[in-house]
């Protein structure tokens, strides 16, 4: 009897020890799964990605959709059908070299391609269905918008000073765009001060495009130049605190009350040299002593006399445009002077190779002489009266947001 009792006690003790064993908590070591956990299938580009074999690459120079799919035994007939079905969504002829692509195929011995994803840019992509239904749809990566403010002083160059402040160096390009008509950023001065409020878009953890400036102040040669981004129905533009556009159109001509005596002509017969010689400027006839006006803000880069040009002046307006004024009777500016639109820079004369009093006006765009009368310049309309109240509110909002940073 005692042996049976001892056996029962041992059996009970063993059972108790087994019940008290510590089990790992669900999900701690991967050996036990919670009955409430649901496996989420992997989705990419809006399609079920899990269980597929994926290949990827970049479009090579000269490659087309058929070239990419040919390696996956996707017949030319199906490629033509796919391109036709996708045309209203995306024209496959727009595919460009060096853009990324992915092909997802069945993970079996047949390895049949199911999807082709083509990355149009850093944000947008096209999903081509390669299965029973041939077609395409557009998609986009999630985009974050980050707002930042950077303040500093030029000590070396805008690029290097932005880099030292851990700001995107591409911000210098955005700033040059905003101030293209008022500041030549290749000639900023040591001690110039900048204060910029901007945003940049991020996709897949990488910046997309250039930073977008919302408001800015750049003190150049001791003069603060402010800019505020505002849309009055014509698209985003930049204006100073008074509502004037920072995009300044050029004056139509450098002299008032004049007439064109000789137009821009690459095959003009020269009246003095008596031979065909391109005339890469526009001659404005006017009385000797008539003021010659700078057609836009800029810096004098040449003020001199030569045998052919006579007294002449050349102005750099920004990184794109330069103008030149020839045959002056007198120059009224020196190299390095900053001039404003409409400022007198010289007087009409007939010095150099000229038959009578006039100014030969020459216009450079990206280093090449062009006919300024055929150029289309950006609009320079100020904020309209009916939009001034909204503009003032926007200026206050941008300043408040910038101050909060």
Backbone angles phi, psi at 41, to 5 degrees: -65, 145
Looking at residue 20, its pLDDT comes to 39
In a domain, 279, yes or no: yes
> C-alpha distances in angstroms, 61 versus 39, 67, 97, 153?
41, 11, 5, 44
- In terms of domains, do 355 and 266 share one? yes
Domain-located, residue 316: yes
Which pLDDT score, from 0 to 100, does residue 249 have? 78
Shared-domain flag, residues 136 and 155: no
pLDDT given at position 389: 97
One domain, residues 89 and 53: yes
Cα–Cα–Cα angle for 289, 290, 292, nearest 5°?
A: 115
pTM exceeds 0.85, yes or no: no
Q: What is the pLDDT of residue 398?
A: 97
End-to-end CA distance of the chain: 86
Q: Nearest 5°: phi and psi at 210?
A: -85, 155
Beta strand ranges found along 132-239 (DSSP E): 135-140, 144-153, 193-203, 206-220, 223-231, 236-239
Residue 76 exposed, middle or buried by CB count within 10 Å (0-12, 13-18, 19+) = exposed
Q: The CATH number of the domain where 149 resides is what?
A: 3.10.450.350
Residue 398 and residue 362 in contact, taking contact as beta carbons nearer than 8 Å? no
Supply the CATH number for residue 322's domain: 2.70.70.10
Please give the chain's pLDDT, 405 residues, in tens.
Answer: 444 334 333 433 433 333 333 333 333 344 444 555 666 778 899 998 888 999 999 999 999 999 999 989 899 999 999 999 999 999 999 999 999 999 999 999 889 999 999 999 999 999 999 998 999 999 999 999 999 999 999 999 999 999 999 999 999 989 988 987 788 776 788 999 999 999 999 998 899 999 999 999 999 888 899 999 999 988 899 999 999 998 877 888 899 867 888 887 766 565 655 666 677 889 999 999 999 999 988 999 999 999 999 999 999 998 889 999 999 999 999 999 999 888 999 999 999 988 899 999 999 999 999 998 888 776 678 999 999 999 999 999 999 999 998
Same-domain check for residues 157 and 110: no
Are 67 and 123 in a shared domain? yes
| Enclosing domain of residue 346 | 259-374
Residue 393 lies in a domain: no
Q: Quote the pLDDT of residue 328.
A: 98
User: What pLDDT score does 19 carry?
Assistant: 37
Q: Say if 394 falls within a structural domain.
A: no
Structural domains of the chain, count? 3
- Does 61 lie in the same domain as 125? yes
- By the 8 A CB rule, do 364 and 372 touch? no
Q: What is the pLDDT of residue 240?
A: 95
- Spatial CB neighbours of 304, under 8 Å, sequence gap ≥ 6: 311, 312
Q: Read off φ and ψ for residue 110, nearest 5 degrees.
A: -75, -30
Residue 304, classed as helix, strand or coil, is strand
CA distance 45 to 392: 43
Residues 193 and 207 in one domain: yes
| Domain-ending residue, one of 210, 239, 268 | 239
Is residue 362 assigned to a domain? yes
């Amino acid at each position: 009897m005692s042996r049976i009792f001892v056996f029962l006690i041992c059996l009970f003790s063993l059972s108790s020890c087994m019940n008290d064993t510590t089990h790992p908590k669900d999900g701690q070591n991967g050996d036990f799964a919670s009955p409430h956990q649901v496996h989420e299938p992997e989705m990419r580009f809006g399609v079920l990605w899990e269980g597929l074999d994926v290949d990827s690459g970049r479009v090579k120079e000269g490659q087309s959709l058929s070239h990419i799919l040919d390696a996956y035994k996707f017949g030319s007939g199906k490629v033509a059908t796919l391109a036709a079905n996708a045309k209203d969504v995306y024209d496959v002829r727009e595919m460009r070299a060096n853009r990324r692509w992915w092909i997802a195929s069945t993970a079996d011995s047949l390895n049949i391609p199911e999807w082709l994803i083509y990355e149009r840019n850093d944000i947008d992509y096209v999903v081509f269905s390669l299965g029973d239904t041939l077609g395409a749809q557009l998609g986009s990566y999630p985009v974050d918008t980050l707002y930042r403010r950077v303040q500093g002083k030029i000590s070396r160059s805008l690029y290097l000073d932005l880099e030292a402040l851990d700001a995107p160096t591409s911000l210098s390009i955005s700033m040059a765009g905003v101030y293209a008509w008022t500041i030549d950023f290749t000639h900023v001065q040591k001690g110039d001060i900048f204060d910029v409020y901007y945003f940049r878009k991020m996709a897949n953890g990488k910046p997309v495009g250039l930073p977008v400036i919302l408001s800015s102040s750049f003190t150049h040669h001791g003069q603060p130049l402010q800019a505020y981004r505002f849309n009055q129905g014509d698209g985003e533009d930049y204006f100073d605190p008074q509502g004037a556009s920072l995009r300044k159109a050029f004056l139509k001509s450098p002299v008032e009350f004049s007439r064109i005596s000789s137009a821009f002509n690459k095959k003009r017969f020269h009246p003095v040299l008596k031979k065909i010689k391109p005339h890469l400027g526009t001659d404005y006839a006017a009385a000797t002593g008539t003021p010659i006006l700078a057609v836009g803000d800029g810096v004098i880069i040449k003020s001199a006399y030569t045998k052919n040009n006579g007294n002449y002046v050349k102005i750099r307006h920004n990184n794109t445009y330069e103008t030149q004024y020839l045959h002056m009777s007198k120059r009224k500016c020196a190299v390095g002077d900053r001039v404003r639109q409409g400022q007198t820079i010289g007087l009409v004369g007939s010095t150099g190779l000229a038959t009578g009093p006039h100014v030969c006006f020459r216009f450079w765009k990206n280093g090449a002489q062009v006919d300024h009368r055929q150029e289309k310049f950006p609009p320079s309309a100020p904020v309209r009266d009916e939009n001034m109240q909204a503009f003032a509110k926007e200026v206050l909002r941008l300043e408040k947001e910038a101050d909060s940073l």
